[in-house]
Amino acid sequence: MRGVDFLINVNTGDESTPAYEPIAAQRGGTFTRGYDTIDMTSKDNSGWADSDYGNGNWSISGDGVLQESDPAFEALDTAFLNAEVILVQFEFPNGKKYEGKAVITDLSIEAPHDDVATYSIELTGKGQYEEVDAA
């Protein structure tokens, strides 16, 4: 699989009737999943640590070339300015998607003198994500 075929999609509609659009001119994208751990170590473990699953967490990060008037970037910008939760998807080449609500923890724009303007985003999951099968 080629990384170029994975997309970050943002809801440009409302929550009751979502309309997902890919963020224009994406370069990188990462979908991270993990669990916190609970230390279950006791004297009964003969000197070995013992852990169990704690809370799950997920995040999406990405970057790309900034495009003026991109509906997906505008939705991110508006949600960030208003401290609103946003619906996002991480889409696989076969159409499968991981989808959920997220808070925008970082939305950066870099505008160097001698190169293209770029953006980077960090989205932290709010609750559990869902797997959406390819349609």
Specify the CATH number for the domain of residue 116.
4.10.410.40
Percent of the chain scored above 90 by pLDDT? 92
Residue 116: inside a domain, yes or no?
yes
For tokens 């979908």, name the residue: 31
Dihedral (CA of 13, 15, 17, 18) sign:
positive
Q: Is the pLDDT of residue 134 over 80?
A: no
Residue 42: inside a domain, yes or no?
no
Beta strands per DSSP E along 25-96: 26-39, 51-65, 86-91
Residue 100: inside a domain, yes or no?
yes
Domain that holds residue 106: 3-33+53-132
Residue 26: inside a domain, yes or no?
yes
For 5-10, what is the mean pLDDT? 96
Residue 45: inside a domain, yes or no?
no
Residue 14: inside a domain, yes or no?
yes
Residue 90 β-bridge partners: 8, 98
Residue 95: inside a domain, yes or no?
yes
Number of domains the chain is built from: 1
Which whole-number Å values give the CA distances from 114 to 80, 110, 111, 119, in the listed order? Answer: 28, 11, 9, 16
pLDDT tens digits, residue range 56-98? 999 999 999 999 899 999 999 999 999 999 999 999 999 999 9
Residue 72: inside a domain, yes or no?
yes
